[in-house]
């Protein structure tokens, strides 16, 4: 039985030679010829890696580099077993010292042709785990934004990807450490909001796409990937960048659990995924700790089903951040920029109320509104017009019709036959009419009071429940952040009168 290394030491080198010599290369035929008697698990792993490697050639041709430098080519440099100081892997770029090492490679400080310091990232392409860096480089090369780390050039050298990028002075994670060492809970608010505004601008630039590039999500926003260069924030590390073909699409790949949005744990990706991670990052940088703590399993459970602990933030900021941390993506702020603007400038209660009226089942938005609602808006909520359910209208109409019909019939009999009817039919009919109308008015008054009580506690209410739903059930409905459009959730069976449906 072959060992695990056969995939990378034998089959992949043969496959790379095969795709260079045969166009188009037939992967199934190659597997039948070379892997026929191998372990099916190894064959499956090889197939996945080989299919991913199909995209390397076109991507590297876009970088203007051959897939493998010619032996003895001085212009390509001579690669040692590992990067070392003083090596010139790309003409004009000479390494100086190691800056960091990760799972897929190393980052070195280097000097470019114009003596400008740069960073060179060495990424191993020996297995499929390094291929996201290649795809991200293919996406980001040529993308210019003042708050995105600029990718200057890229090369492949002997199954390594070399990415030459701007060199930053440090990270926001390091800035937080400096603030903590000075006795502060986190980065000062005004300074931090400046950084957050720049990060939001860059993330929205990625999220919205452009004429020549698709929308994308970073998927790994955290303090260590928010760099500082000359006092300007730069978003970096695009290895997990994923293009968005739809508002909610399938996600595959790694992420940092402490900062990951709930949909990432469900292998989904939305156009507001980065906003969630930015909000978690803000909590840590502002207050010195995360909203969900513990081991990875505890963090995942917190992101999926628990309320965030926002006690590290000032009370005025908590409802704003809580909306950005909504479990349902569409309940978050429309953009990262809108989220940071709310933190910086505060929330306009009137604008929040208008948005809530158009989306009454947005639990997170309702909670935000209740936290900023003014006395004038409370009075407006109590005066808001309600639409009565058809069942209540039908019952009321039937009662009124019976009362009026009975009164009309008895009055007619009394007028036609005064001797036989006397005065008592009119009296009885009048008594019944007054009683029915009294009960009807009492019921309407009671329900109107119920509407006002709901409006006082929950804000605008467009429908009133009938039969009456206990306030405890409604309170429970509005105390949890869940998607009211999910018909599979039985908890929403009593919420129909509160939606815009």
**Bridge-partner residues for 155, per DSSP?**
162
pLDDT one-digit tens code per residue, 110-143: 999 888 999 998 887 665 555 666 666 666 676 7
Evaluate whether 63-68+83-167 and 171-346 have a shared fold: no
Q: Where are the domains positioned within the chain?
A: 6-54, 63-68+83-167, 171-346, 383-498
Q: How far is it, in rounded angstroms, from Cα 281 to Cα 275?
A: 10
The residue among 345, 234, 193, 218 whose CA lies nearest residue 276 is: 218
- Using only C-alpha atoms, the chain has a radius of gyration, in whole angstroms, of 33
CATH superfamily, domain at 171-346: Transferase(Phosphotransferase) domain 1 (1.10.510.10)
What is the sign of the dihedral through the CA atoms of 249, 255, 261 and 263? positive
- What is the value of pTM for the model shown? 0.70
**Over the stretch 320-337, which tens digit does the pLDDT of each residue have?**
999 999 999 999 999 999
Contacts (Cβ under 8 Å, ≥6 apart) of 43: 31, 35
Average pLDDT taken over every residue of the chain? 76
Backbone dihedral angles phi then psi of residue 22, each to the nearest 5 degrees = -125, 125
Give, rounded to a whole angstrom, the gap between the first and last alpha carbons of the chain. 62
pLDDT of residue 235: 92
Class assignment of domain 63-68+83-167? Answer: alpha beta
Q: Which one of the listed residues 220, 274, 381, 483 is annotated catalytic?
A: 220
Closest by CA to 213, choosing from 254, 253, 247, 243, is 243
- Annotation says 3 is catalytic: no
DSSP string, 131-183: HHHHHHHHHHTT---TTB--EEEEEE-SSEEEEEEEPPSEEHHHHHHHHHHTT
pLDDT at 405: 73
Sequential pLDDT tens for the chain (501 residues): 344 456 555 776 677 677 666 766 788 888 888 887 788 888 887 776 676 555 555 555 555 444 434 333 434 444 445 788 888 988 899 999 998 876 667 889 999 988 899 999 888 766 555 566 666 666 667 678 999 988 888 887 767 788 888 888 989 999 999 999 999 999 999 999 999 999 999 999 988 877 777 788 888 899 999 999 988 999 987 654 544 433 333 344 456 899 999 998 888 888 899 999 999 999 999 999 999 988 989 999 999 999 999 999 999 999 999 999 999 999 999 999 999 999 999 999 989 988 888 887 788 888 899 889 988 888 877 776 555 556 666 776 776 677 667 767 766 666 666 665 556 666 666 676 677 677 767 766 776 676 677 777 778 765 554 444 555 665 565 555 444 433 333 333 333 333 322
């Amino acid at each position: 039985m072959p060992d695990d290394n056969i995939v990378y030491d034998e089959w992949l080198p043969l496959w790379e030679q095969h795709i260079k010599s045969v166009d188009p290369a037939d992967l199934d035929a190659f597997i039948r010829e070379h892997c026929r008697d191998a372990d099916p698990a190894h064959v499956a792993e090889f197939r996945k890696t080989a299919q991913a490697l199909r995209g390397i050639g076109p991507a590297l041709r876009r970088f203007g580099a051959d897939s493998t430098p010619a032996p003895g080519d001085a212009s390509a440099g001579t690669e040692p077993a590992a990067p070392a100081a003083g090596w010139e892997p790309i003409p004009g770029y000479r390494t100086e010292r190691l800056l960091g090492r990760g799972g897929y490679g190393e980052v070195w400080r280097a000097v470019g042709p114009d003596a400008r310091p740069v960073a060179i990232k060495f990424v191993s392409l020996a297995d499929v785990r390094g291929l996201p860096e290649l795809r991200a480089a293919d996406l980001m090369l040529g993308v210019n934004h003042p708050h995105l780390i600029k990718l200057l050039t890229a090369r492949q050298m002997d199954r390594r990807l070399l990415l030459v990028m701007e060199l930053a002075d440090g990270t926001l994670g390091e800035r937080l450490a400096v603030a903590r060492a000075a006795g502060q809970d986190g980065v000062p608010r005004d300074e931090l909001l400046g950084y957050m505004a720049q990060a939001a601008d860059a993330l929205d630039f990625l999220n919205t796409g452009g004429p020549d590039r698709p929308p994308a999500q970073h998927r790994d926003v955290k303090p260590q990937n928010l760099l500082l260069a000359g006092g300007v924030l730069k978003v970096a590390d695009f290895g997990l960048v994923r293009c968005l073909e739809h508002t909610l699409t399938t996600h595959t790949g790694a992420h940092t659990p402490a900062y990951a949005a709930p949909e990432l744990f469900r292998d989904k990706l939305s156009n507001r995924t980065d906003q969630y991670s930015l909000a978690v990052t803000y909590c840590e940088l502002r207050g010195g700790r995360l909203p969900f703590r513990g081991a990875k399993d505890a963090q995942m459970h917190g992101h999926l089903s628990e309320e965030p602990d926002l006690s590290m933030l000032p009370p005025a900021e908590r409802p704003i951040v809580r909306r950005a941390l909504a479990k349902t993506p569409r309940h978050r702020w429309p953009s990262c920029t809108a989220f940071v603007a709310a933190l910086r400038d505060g929330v306009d209660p009137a604008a929040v109320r208008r948005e809530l009226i158009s989306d009454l089942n947005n639990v997170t938005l309702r909670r935000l509104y209740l936290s900023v609602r003014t006395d004038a808006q409370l009075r407006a909520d109590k005066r808001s017009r309600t639409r009565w359910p058809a069942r209540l209208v039908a019952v009321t109409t039937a009662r009124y019709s019976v009362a009026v019909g009975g009164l009309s019939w008895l009055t007619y009999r009394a007028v036609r036959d005064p001797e036989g009817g006397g005065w008592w039919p009119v009296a009885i009919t009048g008594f019944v009419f007054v009683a029915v109308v009294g009960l009807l008015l009492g019921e309407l008054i009671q329900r109107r009071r119920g509407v006002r009580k709901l409006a006082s506690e929950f804000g605008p209410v467009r429908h009133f429940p009938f039969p009456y739903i206990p306030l405890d059930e409604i309170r429970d409905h509005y105390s949890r952040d869940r998607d009211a459009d999910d018909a599979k959730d039985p908890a929403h069976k009593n919420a129909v009168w509160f939606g815009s449906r």
